Each structure stands twice: as structure tokens, then as C-alpha cells.
Amino acid sequence: MPTDTTPTDAEAACFEAGIKFGSLYHQFAGTPVSPDSAATLESAIEESIENQPHCTAVTVDVLTDELEAELADATADYTELTGRFLEVEIVIDYEGCEVVTRMEMEDGYPLMRLESVRDEQSH
């Protein structure tokens, strides 16, 4: 008997959440950033990704403590944005299904993971 492989709304919502994370990271990684320019960059990243479909909320923290620690030993006063200076939360709503996702460092890698998937339709 063939299995139905049609994606559910919850699966589509998770796919959309992944797209936003990949977009955010690969659009903005490499951006020159300093403690002084971090706040404006946070807002620009949030507003940019919130333009994308089904994206309810994006919260970006550029970790200025980590930036300052990196720059304390450096000859320059800025560096390139990369995963170890970023914490991100993205909330997706797709056809009544809400997905919450986060990116944080784990073992030296920026790990993107699904926090929760809540399908309003199923109640």
C-alpha cells in the first residue's frame, strides 16, 4: 500500500521556519560589525526577515560582550558577523500552525533547532 507523502501543515510550517533561518544566516554573515553598530544591525536583520511570508516575529541579539572580548585582542575595532556573535529566535505561523525556532552556539557551532510546533487546527 502506498504511503501518503503529502506534507502536513505542521511540516510546511517547519520548512518555512528553516528557510528563514538559512536566509538570515547566509544573508548577514560576513557583515562588518562593531559594538557601536550592533543595535542598528539587529533591527535591520529583524525587519528584513519579517518581510518574508509566514514570519510572525524575529528577535536578533548581537552579543556585544562577545564582540568586545574578540576585539580586545585585535588590531581592528570591528569584525565580521558570524554565528558566535548571534542569538536568534524566529516564530512562524503557517495555516494556524505556530513554530518557534532558535539559534545558539553549541560545541562551537551555531545550532539552529526547532523549539516547538503547535497546530491550532488539531484542537
Q: Which residues of this protein are in contact with a second copy, per CB under 8 A? A: 3, 5-8, 10-12, 14-27, 29-34, 36-37, 40-41, 43-45, 47-53, 74-78, 80, 82, 99, 101, 107-109, 112, 114, 116-119, 122-123
Q: How far is the CB of 47 from a second copy (least distance, A)?
A: 4
Query: Grid coordinates standing for 50?
Result: 519579517
Nearer to a second copy, 65 or 76 (CB): 76
Length of the chain equals 123
Q: Find the shortest distance in angstroms from Cβ 118 to a second copy.
A: 5
Range list of β-strands (E), 5-123:
32-33, 55-62, 79-80, 86-94, 97-106, 109-119
- Measured between alpha carbons, how far is 115 from 103 in angstroms, rounded to an integer? 10
Closest to a second copy by CB, 4 vs 65, is 4
105 is in an annotated binding site: no
Q: Which of 66, 59, 102, 101 is nearest to 84 (CA)?
A: 66
Q: Which residues are annotated as a binding site for substrate?
A: 16, 112
